[in-house]
């Protein structure tokens, strides 16, 4: 079996992509260690064999899967004997809901805070592309976004409330042990840790902090094993 994960790489070998962290953690959950292939923002052609240009892309012998959700479902269905990512059909449906909340809630709130930092840590040859695409997406300059950091941090606060509430109840979103919903939300914090030297959590954010530390320790410290800003942990 030859498993290959194509994932985003930035300056200093940083691995900031939350989508790629979803896949990395899902693979680790299944006890699988892929070979990783770094892909710069301007190297989308490297994964064109998957029929699109985004990462993550998983190669499993002659099978190719793109999109983090498709990868999670592929792993769950192809490696059913390993620990479950979802815990059954109902769990899969709820994990998909958390996927949508992460994309349209958590990530949407974090992006205007993190994008200016991510630009500074993109590969030098990727920076123009990153600036152009992100400024088009946000309809304003990166400098404008950076100047409004405090506003965006205040807007993040209520978005974190479901995490706060749930993590005050059990150590992980999925209960006593982590599973895919945890990887979905945690992957966003991996992005923060990878690019941002400022702590995005308020000092009193105990439950989310404790969860992040547990998540960083999983799989022999897989999420700690990449270059990052400890100040943001």
Question: How many helices (H) and strands (E) would you count in the chain?
Answer: 10, 4
**How would you label 24-49 residue by residue, b for 16+ Cβ within 10 Å and e otherwise?**
bbbbbbbebebebeebbbebeebbee
Binder to ligand GSH among 36, 68, 107, 194 (CB under 6 A)? 68
By CB under 6 A, is residue 55 in contact with ligand GSH?
Answer: yes
By CB under 6 A, is residue 29 in contact with ligand GSH?
Answer: no
Smallest separation (angstroms) from ligand GSH to the CB of 54:
3
Binder to ligand GSH among 40, 54, 127, 148 (CB under 6 A)? 54
**17 or 190, CB closer to ligand GSH?**
17
* 156 Rama class: left (phi>0) / alpha (psi -120 to 50) / beta: alpha
SS3 (DSSP) at 156? helix
At residue 101, φ and ψ (nearest 5 deg) are -65, -40
Smallest separation (angstroms) from ligand GSH to the CB of 168:
28
By CB under 6 A, is residue 183 in contact with ligand GSH?
Answer: no
Binder to ligand GSH among 41, 172, 186, 219 (CB under 6 A)? 41
Can you read off the two tokens belonging to residue 212? 């992040």
Binding site for ligand GSH (CB under 6 A): 8, 17, 19, 41, 54-56, 67-69, 133
């Amino acid at each position: 079996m030859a498993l290959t994960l194509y994932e985003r790489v930035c300056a200093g070998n940083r691995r900031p992509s939350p989508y790629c962290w979803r896949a990395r953690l899902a693979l680790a959950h299944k006890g699988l260690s892929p070979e990783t292939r770094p892909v710069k923002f301007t190297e989308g052609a490297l994964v064109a064999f998957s029929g699109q240009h985004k990462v993550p892309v998983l190669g499993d012998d002659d099978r190719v899967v793109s999109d983090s959700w498709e990868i999670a479902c592929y792993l769950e269905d192809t490696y059913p004997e390993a620990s479950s990512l979802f815990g059954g059909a109902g769990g899969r449906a709820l994990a998909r809901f958390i996927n949508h909340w992460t994309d349209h809630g958590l990530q949407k709130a974090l992006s205007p805070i993190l994008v200016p930092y991510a630009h500074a840590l993109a590969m030098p040859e990727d920076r123009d592309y990153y600036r152009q695409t992100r400024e088009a997406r946000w309809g304003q300059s990166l400098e404008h976004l950076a100047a409004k950091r405090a506003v965006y941090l205040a807007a993040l606060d209520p978005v974190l409330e479901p995490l706060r509430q749930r993590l005050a109840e059990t150590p992980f979103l999925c209960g006593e042990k982590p599973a895919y919903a945890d990887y979905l939300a945690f992957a966003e914090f991996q992005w923060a840790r990878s690019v941002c030297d400022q702590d995005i959590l308020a000092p009193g954010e105990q439950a989310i902090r404790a969860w992040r530390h547990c998540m960083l320790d999983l799989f022999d410290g897989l999420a700690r094993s990449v270059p990052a800003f400890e100040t943001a942990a």
